[in-house]
Amino acid sequence: MSELILILIILFLPLLSGLVGFISKYSSIISIVGVSFSFLFSLVLAFDRKVIRFEWLWVEGVVFSIHIDRISSVLIVLVNLISLLVLIYSSRYMEEDNGDKRYFAFLGFFIFSMLGLLMTNHLLLLFVFWELVGLASYLLIGFWYQKESVPASARTSFMINRIADTSLLAGIILLFRDGFDLTIGSEPILWTILPSILIAVGAFGKSAQLPFSGWLLKAMAGPTPVSALIHAATMVAAGVYLLVRVSPFLPQEVLNFIAIIGCLTSCYAAICAIVRHDIKKVLAFSTISQLGYMVLGIGVGAADASLFHLITHAFFKAGLFLGAASVINFMCNAHKNDSRDMRYMGGLTSKLPWTCRSFILCSLALAGLPLFSGFLSKDSILLGAWLFATKTGSWAYIISDLAIFTTLLTAFYVARMVLLVFFGTPRTNLTNYKYRESKRLYFPLVILGVFSLFIFFNLNPLGHSSYLIEYMGFPIQHLEGSIIPFLSILMVISGFVLAFSWFKPGAKYTTTYLKNSQPKSGLGIFALEGFQLGELYRRVGIAIYKLSLAAAYLDRQVIDPMLHFVSIGSVVGSKVLALIERFMVNGPVNLSASILAFLGKRFAGLSARDGQTQIIWLLVMVILILGWFIFF
């Protein structure tokens, strides 16, 4: 019972502190305090090492359950920790915004839903929280709802998520129909194909895999700390989390499908990240790409590696986004025009020293350089892909090779971003704006930067797993002597070298490149447009809207007029009947009456004349009658 209370406290404290903050003056402090307590309690939970289960009947036939094992408890700590850091950062970042109360209330709601998602193993309850995190994301993307294009971005990202979520819901219901237990984690029985695919597609939606990846770019319209928490570290990883949970139940064909989509997404997004100028968009594509790695890991049967990458990625990507937030904030004040465009940046090292240091640490982790956390986790995924290829052969080798090649692309765009933002001299005239890196801003950054080092996850800098993964109960594989780590190091280094040779401060290419901002080659333009995915969404949306206009036309111009036709028809019919009544039924009656009246009038004159005429008429009649008798 005490455990249930502990769980409920962890779950509801962020929500309550958000709500209380909304009606009080000190919203940020209340939120921070609430989430810190939630964090401390979740540490207690994680060290408890027990599996906790509670069940209750929701509706007849559906028993919801809370189930916390080691995987969930570690992830709960992770979510709480990153939320706490982002809240601390936001408390300074949002200070001048007059909607800050709403901001912290929404964030509290998000943390609540995300924790709830991690606490259940019932698919329907998971879906409930799955939608709630989607709502929180929608509210926070649309946080600056008065700005141009923000509302449309919020709606688009929610709708794309909704489509994928519907697929997930359909998958869950089909599982129910086929008689499977909706509680994950009992004995592994393979699910049937159709629900498995639908559930995988649902996960693709949340984790921004092809073809849903575009919503994450739209999501960048929100405040940047929100992007750090929701659209990099936690919510987008929910799809990966779901896949990790259900992967023992998925048939091999579906796993193959997942591996292919993951690999394609990771490569596609890395290409797009290379040509983008907007720092947030580069980071968004990089998130999509890294999520692609995680999905790939699940497909190739290395779910533990995916989970590991999820954790390391949460740290360094949150760090990168918070760093980008500082950069954008600085640019916003120093250079009014376009605060997110990397072409206007450069030489920010001296202006933002702490931001720069932690940003570089996180970048190296993202690139996957040895000694950093990203190397450990990405390497385990690559290793998993390679093992999978040796087992499956043929097309699986392409997947494995493509994944390794993508590390080169990753290193390239990471180096390009860092060089363009921090090194060289400022490329535009910056005002004399003096940016004060307050403690609340750089403390979270430094923490996240430090957590990008290998030492927190594995003492061996060239290893490919972590004690965390061991703690979660996955078997540790020992695969020493493989060529993969060296191959990936080679790729990273060549990526760096290429980037340095093109974007080295002062290099000729840099200046020309920055002047002619648009890429010239077809592939470049194509990549800049995100492979026309946005266009695809727009067309689908327009098609649906046209369909709805057609339905409205049908309703107003066909169905209703039919009704009007019937009613007008009955009125016309009644008018016709009235005419018939007037001329054909009533007419003859009146006609005979008027004939009689006419005759009557004519003959009435007879009696009115004088005596002589009457006698003459009498004689005429007598003659006529006599004639009748004589001749007939």
Partner 1 sequence: MQYLLSYIFLFPLLIAFVMLFIPSEHRGVFRRLALAATSVQSLLSGVLLYHFDKQLKPSSWEAAFQFVEQSDWINLGLGFIGDLRIEYYLGVDGISLPLVALSSLVLLIGVISSWNIREKVKGYFILYLILSGSIIGCFVALDFFLFYLCFEFMLLPMFFLIGIWGGERRSYASIKFFLYTLFGSLFILIVMIGLYMSIEKGGINSFSITAMLDGNYLEDSILNPAERGKIIGRPARALAFIFLLIGFGIKLPLVPVHTWLPDAHVEAPTPISVVLAGLLLKIGAYGLFRILYGVFPDMAVKYATWVASFGVLSILYGGLNALAQRDLKKMVAYSSVSHMGFVLVGLASLTSIGFSGALFHMISHGIISPALFLLAGVIYDRTHNRLMDDFSGLASKMPVYAFFTAVFFFAGLGLPGLSGFVGELMVLMGAFSTSVFGYWLAILAVLGIIISAAYFLWTIQRMFFGHYFVRESVRKENMFDLTSGEKAMFIPLALFVLLLGIFPNLILNYSNETIQFFINYISQFRP
Phi then psi for residue 98, to 5 deg, are -85, 0
* Residue nearer to partner 1 on the CB measure, 476 or 547: 547
User: Which one of 63, 159, 264, 371 is in contact with partner 1 (CB under 8 A)?
Assistant: 159
CB of 165 to partner 1, least distance (A): 9
User: Counting contacts by CB under 8 A, is residue 333 touching partner 1?
Assistant: no
With beta carbons less than 8 A apart as the criterion, state whether 376 and 458 touch.
yes
Q: Retrieve residue 528's tokens.
A: 């800049």
Phi then psi for residue 56, to 5 deg, are -150, 155
Q: Residue 297: name the closest of 215, 198, 399 by CA.
A: 399
Q: Residue 127: name the closest of 164, 155, 157, 87 by CA.
A: 164
Q: Residue 28: name the closest of 100, 99, 110, 136 by CA.
A: 100
What part of residues 341-400 is at the interface with partner 1 (CB under 8 A)?
none
Q: Residue 268: name the closest of 527, 492, 533 by CA.
A: 527
* Residue nearer to partner 1 on the CB measure, 172 or 418: 172
Q: Retrieve residue 340's tokens.
A: 């997110």
User: Counting contacts by CB under 8 A, is residue 54 touching partner 1?
Assistant: no
CB of 268 to partner 1, least distance (A): 25
User: Counting contacts by CB under 8 A, is residue 150 touching partner 1?
Assistant: yes
Give the ranges where 423-483 is alpha helix by DSSP (H).
439-450, 467-471
CB of 149 to partner 1, least distance (A): 10
With beta carbons less than 8 A apart as the criterion, state whether 205 and 239 touch.
yes
Residues in the chain: 632
Q: What's the Cα-to-Cα distance from 224 to each of 216, 220, 327, rounded to whole Å?
A: 13, 7, 10
DSSP single-letter state for residue 578: H
* Residue nearer to partner 1 on the CB measure, 159 or 490: 159
Phi then psi for residue 369, to 5 deg, are -80, 145
Which amino acid is it at 332?
Answer: C
* Per-residue interface string for the shown chain with partner 1, residues 112-141, x marking contact by CB under 8 A: ------------x--xxx-xx--x------
User: Counting contacts by CB under 8 A, is residue 16 touching partner 1?
Assistant: no
CB of 197 to partner 1, least distance (A): 13
User: Counting contacts by CB under 8 A, is residue 98 touching partner 1?
Assistant: no
Phi then psi for residue 55, to 5 deg, are -135, 150
Q: What's the Cα-to-Cα distance from 458 to each of 74, 312, 481, 621, rounded to whole Å?
A: 16, 11, 18, 143
Helix (H) or strand (E) holding 54: strand 52-59
Q: In degrees, to the nearest 5, what angle opens at C-alpha 532 toward C-alphas 531 and 535?
A: 165
* Residue nearer to partner 1 on the CB measure, 177 or 439: 177
User: Counting contacts by CB under 8 A, is residue 525 touching partner 1?
Assistant: no
Phi then psi for residue 457, to 5 deg, are -115, -35
Cα 4 to the center of its chain, rounded Å: 31
Q: Residue 269: name the closest of 192, 215, 197 by CA.
A: 215
User: Counting contacts by CB under 8 A, is residue 20 touching partner 1?
Assistant: no
CB of 130 to partner 1, least distance (A): 8
Contact region with partner 1 (CB under 8 A), list: 163-171, 331-339, 352-360, 589-597:
163-171
CB of 520 to partner 1, least distance (A): 36
* Residue nearer to partner 1 on the CB measure, 563 or 589: 563
Q: Retrieve residue 135's tokens.
A: 């709502």
* Residue nearer to partner 1 on the CB measure, 61 or 522: 61
User: Counting contacts by CB under 8 A, is residue 154 touching partner 1?
Assistant: yes
What part of residues 571-610 is at the interface with partner 1 (CB under 8 A)?
none
With beta carbons less than 8 A apart as the criterion, state whether 47 and 19 touch.
no
* Per-residue interface string for the shown chain with partner 1, residues 168-187, x marking contact by CB under 8 A: -xx--xx-xx----------
User: Counting contacts by CB under 8 A, is residue 145 touching partner 1?
Assistant: yes
User: Counting contacts by CB under 8 A, is residue 262 touching partner 1?
Assistant: no
* Residue nearer to partner 1 on the CB measure, 108 or 495: 108
CB of 116 to partner 1, least distance (A): 10
The whole-angstrom separation of Cα 312 and Cα 307 is 9
CB of 235 to partner 1, least distance (A): 15
CB of 97 to partner 1, least distance (A): 13
CB of 224 to partner 1, least distance (A): 20
Helix, coil or strand: residue 628: helix
* Residue nearer to partner 1 on the CB measure, 106 or 386: 106
User: Counting contacts by CB under 8 A, is residue 212 touching partner 1?
Assistant: no
The whole-angstrom separation of Cα 571 and Cα 589 is 26
* Residue nearer to partner 1 on the CB measure, 152 or 190: 152
DSSP single-letter state for residue 187: S
* Residue nearer to partner 1 on the CB measure, 40 or 135: 135
User: Which one of 57, 584, 608, 630 is in contact with partner 1 (CB under 8 A)?
Assistant: 57
Q: Residue 337: name the closest of 417, 261, 431, 439 by CA.
A: 431
Contact region with partner 1 (CB under 8 A), list: 9-17, 154-162, 248-256, 468-476:
154-162
* Per-residue interface string for the shown chain with partner 1, residues 527-566, x marking contact by CB under 8 A: -----------------xx-xxxxxx--x---xx--x---
* Residue nearer to partner 1 on the CB measure, 45 or 154: 154
User: Which one of 61, 475, 600, 605 is in contact with partner 1 (CB under 8 A)?
Assistant: 61
Total residues contacting partner 1 (rule CB under 8 A)? 44
The whole-angstrom separation of Cα 221 and Cα 140 is 9
Q: Retrieve residue 252's tokens.
A: 């091999």
User: Counting contacts by CB under 8 A, is residue 18 touching partner 1?
Assistant: no
Interface residues toward partner 1, by CB under 8 A: 57-61, 124, 127-129, 131-132, 135, 142, 145-146, 150-152, 154-155, 158-159, 162-163, 166, 169-170, 173-174, 176-177, 544-545, 547-552, 555, 559-560, 563, 567
